[in-house]
Amino acid sequence: MPELPELEIVRDVLGKRVGGKTIERVELVQPGAALVVRDLTGRGFAKTLTGTTITGVSRRGKFIILELARLGAAPGSDVLQSNLVINPKLTGRLQLASGEVKRYKKTAMVLTLDNAAELRYYDDKAMGQLYLTDHVERIPEFEGMGPEPFDITRAQFRERLRQYRGEIKGVLTRGEFLAGIGNAYADEILWNARLHPYRKRTQLTAQEIDRLYDAMISTLRESIEILRAEMSENIHLEPRDFFNVHMKTGEPCPHCGTVISAITANQRITNFCRTCQPGGLIRGM
């Protein structure tokens, strides 16, 4: 699943490559499009997008937002401004390509721009959503998101954390706590903080909470820089070979050499080092 670091690269690349471009053609490819497209405007997905200009690209949590305007429309026009909000979830990806490049099998939407480039959305399991809306707060899970990790101070982090009592990995991945952190980066953050993922928030000392905050900021920032180099403008890629523990089951911990453990719960795999991250549960590999 793309998380904050990958989506920051997507936002940056799209801002440079599609910002200011006009959508000349919209193609919805069945059956994938029927599963992922959500027109919250009621004006028609393809009809509304065609002829609009992408005036900005932003990210909020795990959502990418294309800000659209029908330039030259009369003031008060009901299609003057709208947003295409992309929530890729587990398997959705965006691709920038020329029309000559072969499409991925599960491509659901293609936007042809006025420079002949194509912005494509493909999703192997049709789990993500593409929302066309005039009001982003209407999108499920959008309004209740917590602050961005880079927008919160250490003191604010401590204060927000007091509201939760569960296992610390579960807290980190709750969108209402902080936006943009998912399963993969939570593993990496907790490894860097030397905290067991199943430690209860109420068990953490003030020093450990400070360590967690520092690890969150450094892990996300360093990952963004690595991804910027590895992805370049290939926004459909999701390189994660640089991870230290996530999906490294059975490999040696980069710090101490202990075999990386794995626990599967709630349909997700949690990886950690039992030596560097002591405490928590005993079961698992």
pLDDT value of position 265: 84
Give the fold, CATH level 3, of 4-138: N-terminal domain of MutM-like DNA repair proteins (3.20.190)
pLDDT value of position 97: 96
pLDDT value of position 266: 77
Those residues with Cβ within 8 angstroms of residue 81's Cβ, 6 or more apart along the chain or in another chain: 67, 68, 69, 70, 134
Low-confidence ranges of the chain (pLDDT < 70): 72-80, 280-285
Catalytic residue among 160, 211, 228, 268: 268
Helices (H), 50-182: 154-161, 168-172
Catalytic site residue 2? yes
0.75 exceeded by pTM: yes
Catalytic residue among 3, 6, 67, 188: 3
Q: Which residue has the tokens 């480039």?
A: 117
Q: How is residue 118 written in tokens?
A: 């194509």
pLDDT value of position 78: 46
* Domain residue ranges in the chain: 4-138, 149-272
Measured from the Cβ of residue 110, the count of other Cβ atoms closer than 10 Å reads 20
Catalytic site residue 27? no
Catalytic site residue 268? yes
Dump pLDDT digits (tens) for 48-67: 999 999 999 999 999 999 99
Catalytic site residue 102? no
pLDDT value of position 170: 96
Catalytic residue among 2, 5, 88, 197: 2
- C-alpha 268/C-alpha 275 separation (Å) is 22
Identify the architecture of domain 149-272 in CATH: Orthogonal Bundle (1.10)
State residue 227 phi and psi, 5-degree precision.
-65, -35
